Structure 1
Amino acid sequence: MKGRNITQYGPGALLPAILLSACATTSASKAYLPAVDVPAMAETVPVGTANDDAADDPAIWRNAADPGASLIVGTDKKAGLYVYGLDGKVRDFVAAGALNNVGLREVTMADGSRRILVAASDRTDRAVPRIALFMLGGASGKLSSLGAVTFLPPGHAPAEAYGFCMGGPLRAGELARAYVVLKDGTVAEGALVEQGGSVAAMHLRDVKLATQSEGCVVDDAARTLYVAEEDIGIWKVPLDRETLGAEAFARVRDEDGLVDDVEGLAVARGADGKGWLVASSQGDNAYALFDLQTARLAGRFRIRGGAIDGTSDTDGIEIALGDFGPAFPEGLFAAQDGDNAPDAQNFKLLSWHAIRTALGLD
């Protein structure tokens, strides 16, 4: 942990004001920390909402039987949800309102069938946080809506469902765990369960960060949730404990490779168990990669070079390891591009092998 003191914050606890000021990054520190260039291998068709901040967050489904037929789900936070093939072409679009962050999981239903459950934070009503639910057809690439469920913690004031991520089930009878990050820094955890042939969400517990937060990701292997507090840094939340508590993981400062805002988070776990956490360092258009075993910064990269334009102002990111075909032999990294001018925003696709090689990772 680079010698940092680890402080835990339980439900309802806020960071001390002195820590907020100490962690703030000044404009002078945004001196473009060293980062290697990695080119995109492909890009998606732009989202339909033009001239606006619209594309936001991707999720990846790997087709183990036919890796080249894998799918990417991405949000247009002004309009709904897209499904793309690895060639970047649109396979489906569902007009579903203001869906911000998206996640997906393969789940086992009560009848024993395996389904692809897709869920997204629904900001259509800024006072009532909801989770929009879908099933994704792996062969068809089509989404079928299961509706939306309200997800406001008991006693919480009206709030906006901002960030979202999913994790594997932690108890019998669950399909998955869902984590909704409200804009005030509250992270609400719930269980997604099958109910009457559909999917319902049951609120379980919360953890509170002090300021605006959004990006989150679950490391299933370590049963740990990571959350990005935009101007402060990254927190880790062990999920095996009865009460959720946040521990400092990386801060907005040069030695941790992060420039505010800290946005999307993604975890890569190899077959050997080695894990990496990648964060969108939006303030300098880069991506910081951390070794999950040591919590040390392992390197930084930017998406640029090659025939496809690079990225800037990235919100959501995602990684999935494994064979995705010749262009992505070891894994796929997807990142939202906040400036795809003259076209609308879209998602850039990179080879994990290219990233790993550029950073000299084992």
Structure 2
Amino acid sequence: MKAVILALLLGGCAATAVAPPSEQAPQLAALAETDPVDTAHDAADDPAIWRNPRDPAASLVIGTDKKAGIHVYDLAGKRVSFTPAARLNNVDLRDMGAKGVVVAASDRADKDVAHVSMFTLDTVARRLVPTGRFRVGSGEAYGMCLWRRARDGALFGFVVLKDGRIDQVAIDLSGAAPKVATVRSMKLGTQSEGCVVDDRTGLLYVAEEDVGLWRFDADPAAPTTATPIARVDRRVLFDDAEGLALAPKGRDGGYLVVSSQGDNAYTLYRLPGVTYAGRFRIGGGAIDGTSDTDGIEMMLGNFGPKYPRGLFVAQDGDNAPDTQNFKYVSWADVLKALGLR
């Protein structure tokens, strides 16, 4: 099965530009880092970003500790609140207007039955308010990403199971508490985790860790066919291919960013055609760099003087002598270093 998948990827990605060797990736300094998580070893996992439109400097970063719960940090990296929860892995959020900022996390507490844990972000108190834990389907929940459909504002989630199955859930916010229902399933051949949805185009991107990147139509009525878009080639993208993030531009352009965990780098692909655009590492500054990164997140916009064009957040798998944490990088620095716009 894996040989077939690799063959499809090689055929489907023949037009991808040839990249330089990974060691040429420039190093960019982190401008801030979060307080370390409370538990040791493999604990911090995935971030999400809420940008405060009225006061960008008061924006917040959410980060999971998959052994203890979920943290909320300010832009200086200081932990401002913590919500205990067992084995939350990936997290995503959407600002739903009158319904508030909705946060969803993949819940691995039951390895036989996947769940989604839901919260709202109290942006004044700077804390998460639990709103329910919902069964999705059999298997261990791993990845998690949200999609707000452009045409009607409907909210959907995608739960990536550890075996490569992807369950799509519809999230109904019309009542006092959310309702979550599984509406379809898709499947990749081997272990997968990172995912992100482009709200503009309704395209779901998923990372199959040892194989490469795939694209699906996010609409629940669409076929479940996966399209290969980039392969793990150990030049541009190393296994494990982990977290995914989007830096959208215009109607369908911008960049897809991937954690190339195997060589401690981050790879950019130019949208909409998903062609190689560059890669970078985090390091070389007063704050230690990152390695073995799982989750990443990216949000454009003004976040204040340090982050005038956007904020990139990456989990750091080795923050010794402290426990793991998350590093903040200016998106303006990424674009400048790679000669991009």
TM-score normalized with structure 2 length = 0.93
2: CA distance, partners of 1:291 / 1:101 = 24
Q: Which residue of 1 aligns with 2:256?
A: 277
Say whether 1:87 aligns with 2:76. yes
- In structure 1, which of residues 176, 201, 206 is the aligned counterpart of residue 180 of structure 2? 201
State yes or no: 1:235 paired with 2:214: yes
Structure 1: which 4+ aligned runs deviate by more than 6 Å?
21-24
| Residue of structure 1 equivalent to 2:18 | none
Q: Cα RMSD between the aligned structures?
A: 1.9
Query: How far apart in 2 are the matches of 1:232 and 1:313?
Result: 17
Structure 2 segments unaligned to the other structure (5+ residues): 11-20
2:27 aligned counterpart, secondary structure: strand
Mapped contact 1:54–1:345 kept (Cα < 8 A)? yes
Deviation at 1:139, TM superposition (A): 1.8
C-alpha distance in 2, partners of 1:237/1:306? 38
**Alignment map for 1:1-362 (pairs within 5 Å):** 17-20=3-6, 32-50=22-40, 52-108=41-97, 113-152=98-137, 158-169=138-149, 172=152, 174=154, 176-194=155-173, 196-240=175-219, 242-254=222-234, 257-270=236-249, 274-362=253-341
The DSSP-based 3-state class of the residue aligned with 1:354 is: helix
Q: Deviations over 1:170-228 (max 9, x none)?
A: 67473x11000001100111111025401111111111000000000001111100000
5+ long unaligned stretches in structure 1: 1-14, 25-30, 153-157
Contact 1:332 1:352 in 2 (8 A): yes
Distance 1:187 1:286 in 2: 26
Amino acid in the other structure paired with 2:161: L
Q: Secondary structure at the match of 1:151?
A: strand
Given that 2:94 and 2:103 are in contact with CA atoms closer than 8 Å, whether structure 1 keeps it comes out as yes
Give the aligned residue type for 1:139.
V
Distance 2:63 2:291 in 1: 17
In structure 2, the CA distance between the partners of 1:114 and 1:260, relative to structure 1 (3 Å rule), is same
CA 196–239 in structure 1, closer or farther in 2 if over 3 Å, else same: closer
User: TM-score, with normalisation over the residues of structure 1?
Assistant: 0.87
Find the residue that maps to 1:264 and give its secondary structure: strand
Q: Residues 104-127 of structure 1: CA distance to partner in whole angstroms, max 9, x if unpaired?
A: 00114xxxx240000100001111
For residues 250 and 323 of structure 1, the distance between their equivalents in structure 2, rounded to whole angstroms, comes to 30
Aligned mates of 2:172, 2:284 — CA distance in 1: 44
How far, CA to CA, are the matches of 1:194 and 1:114 in structure 2?
A: 7
In structure 2, how many angstroms separate the alpha carbons of the residues matched to 1:346 and 1:338? 8
AA aligned opposite 2:107: D
Partner SS, residue 17 of structure 1: helix
TM-aligned CA distance change 1:252 to 1:214, over 3 Å: same
Q: Give, in whole Å, the separation in 1 of the partners of 2:292 and 2:226.
A: 26
Q: 2: CA distance between counterparts of 1:21 and 1:102?
A: 32
Deviations 1:112-153 (A, max 9, x none): x2400001000011111000000101122111111200011x
Q: Deviation at 1:20?
A: 3.9
SS at 1:120's partner residue? Answer: strand
2:195–2:243: 8 Å Cα contact kept in structure 1?
A: yes
Q: What number of residue pairs does the alignment pair up?
A: 331
In structure 2, how many angstroms separate the alpha carbons of the residues matched to 1:173 and 1:259?
36
Is the CA contact 1:169–1:191 (under 8 Å) kept in the aligned structure 2?
Answer: no
2:2 and 2:116 map into 1 onto residues whose CA distance is 31
- Alpha-carbon contact 2:140-2:161 (below 8 Å) kept: yes
Given that 1:173 and 1:193 are in contact with CA atoms closer than 8 Å, whether structure 2 keeps it comes out as no
Please report how far the alpha carbon of residue 254 of structure 1 lies from its aligned counterpart in structure 2 after TM superposition. 4.2
Post-superposition CA distance 1:32-79 (Å, at most 9, x none): 4421111101000000102x1000000000000000000000000001
For 2:152 and 2:247, the matched residues in 1 are separated by 25
CA distance in 2, matches of 1:323, 1:130: 34
Instruction: Indicate the residue corresponding to 2:17 in structure 1.
Output: none
Matched-pair contact (CA < 8 Å) for 1:129–1:160: yes
Judge conservation of contact 1:23–1:253 (CA < 8 Å) in 2. no
Corresponding residue number in structure 2 for 1:27:
none
Q: Percent identity?
A: 52
Task: Report if aligned partners of 2:48, 2:62 keep a CA contact under 8 Å in 1.
Answer: yes
Q: Partners in 1 of 2:62 and 2:173 — Cα distance?
A: 22
Give the Cα separation in 2 of the matches to 1:170 and 1:210: 30
Change (3 A) 1:357 1:160: same
CA distance in 1, matches of 2:248, 2:5: 31
